[in-house]
Amino acid sequence: MDEHEQNDWAPETLAVRLGQERSQYGEHSEALYLTSSFVFKNAAQAAARFSGAEPGNVYARFTNPTVTSLQQRLAALEGAEDCIATASGMAAIMATVMALMNSGQHIVASQSIFGATQQLFGNLLPRFGIETTFVDGANLAAYSAALQPNTRIVFVESPSNPLTELVDIAALGKITRAHGSLLVVDNCFCTPALQLPLALGADLVIHSATKYLDGQGRVLGGAVCGPKVLTDEVFKFLRTTGPTLSPFNAWIILKGLETLFIRMTAQSANALALAQWLAQQPSVSRVHYPGLPTHPQYELAKRQQSGGGAIVSFEVRGGRDAAWRVVDHCKLLSITANLGDTKTTITHPASTTHGRITAEARAQSGITEGLLRIAVGLEAQVDLQADLLRGLAG
Ligand SMILES: *Cc1c(COP(=O)(O)O)cnc(C)c1O
């Protein structure tokens, strides 16, 4: 394909088209190469492929054409020089840390990050000599204060789960660059359809492709996007240790990306409408959604994101009993902690995703007993509201 034309494509077009290399059969849809290894024409080619003197596929733990297509498409969408796909979002985070850090180095992380990431940083990495300081995610001064001479990575999610707290990525990028550490942003909640962390000043973007990139709850996957000097290290780590993405999952996620913009736009609009409706319900005391002017970082959200995203959380009056009543009256919304699906899901964070942390830690991070989180999908607003109203009306 003509390189010049591809370089001119708008993001929506990249999401549908980039990275496809047609085989001899001229297939219209991307080919799924379900193969673990690749054959060579002769001994000399085998030797050249193994040494890296000749580019090309060797073994699917290293590369596979379907996975390569996904990597090219996702890199283009994130505005990254390169992208490396992984078996899951957690594999992406683990590989990034293991590839780029040494024993004796330090991480500064927002305390409002995914539970398994907290476990990895807080409980697993110390066994390998890597310590993490957790800070209040929205407070820039807290990051500055936590930086040490040996801080290699500053790790954040924006918006956060479940309270949709934002991190000012551009401002934090200035702080980390001045210090000489890497800013790593988990862009799972916004996706490149709504937020471009690299353009804002981040060094690496992490994805759980399991969520909005697939978008239909089918497969696990992950990715690391950024400059080749960093992703090459991640690739070397994966190639040796094995948590690479399967070609089948890559193919599913490629298909998911084709509808990424239309889904994120529609789910964001659906979430905004639901947040506005929730804010008017007498039994709801507070709504957390970056697209509402009442959100404390509304101006930052408008600057940093092109939509509010599809996660809405809200507090009902009456604590856990009232919150569980809403959940238990749902017939349409799925009671599950998963998110990023076209099907709307509802969860009570204090007794599920955040159930293992102490009551004090929960209170401190704002996870109240009356808090509910909804990951808004594509169902009609009227049906979502009717489903919630049963439990809200008591
Ligand atoms: C789900 C999730 C992850 C982990 O991804 P997996 O694909 O489940 O391993 C990481 N970060 C965020 C923000 C997530 O929501």
Q: Report pLDDT digits (tens) over 205-253.
A: 999 999 999 999 999 999 999 999 999 999 999 999 999 999 999 999 9
Least reliable range by pLDDT among 113-122, 236-245, 281-290: 113-122
Compute the distance from residue 211 Cα to the ligand 1 centre, in Å: 7
Kindly give the distance from the C-alpha atom of residue 90 to the centroid of ligand 1, in angstroms, as a whole number: 6
How is residue 377 written in tokens?
A: 């999908």
User: How far is the centre of ligand 1, averaged over its atoms, from the C-alpha of 337 (Å)?
Assistant: 11
30 has a pLDDT exceeding 60: yes
Question: Ligand 1, residues 110, 158, 210: which to mutate, most atoms within 8 A of Cβ?
Answer: 210
In this predicted structure, the answer to whether residue 351 has a pLDDT above a threshold of 90 is yes
* DSSP string across 243-254: -BPPHHHHHHHH
Q: Judge contact between 315 and 284, C-beta under 8 A.
A: yes
Instruction: Round to whole Å and give the CA distance between 190 and 82.
Output: 19
Distance, in Å, from the CA atom of 277 to the CA atom of 271, rounded to the nearest integer, reads 10
Provide the whole-model pTM.
Answer: 0.96
Question: Which stretch of 208-212, 237-241, 311-315, 336-340 has the lowest confidence by average pLDDT?
Answer: 336-340
* pLDDT on residue 288: 97
Bridging pattern class, strands 222-226 and 204-208: antiparallel
- By the 8 A CB rule, do 34 and 248 touch? yes
Contact 152, 107 (CB under 8 A): yes
- Residues contacting ligand 1 via CB (< 6 Å): 88-90, 114, 116-117, 157, 161, 186, 188, 208, 210-211, 220, 222
Q: Which CATH number fits domain 260-392: 3.90.1150.10, 3.40.50.2300, 3.40.640.10, 2.40.50.140?
A: 3.90.1150.10
Domain ranges of the chain: 3-257, 260-392
Chain CA centroid to CA 270, Å: 20
Q: What angle do CA 280, 285, 291 make, to 5 degrees?
A: 60
CA distance 239 to 221: 16
CATH T-level topology, domain 3-257? Aspartate Aminotransferase; domain 2 (3.40.640)
Q: What percent of the chain has pLDDT over 90?
A: 92
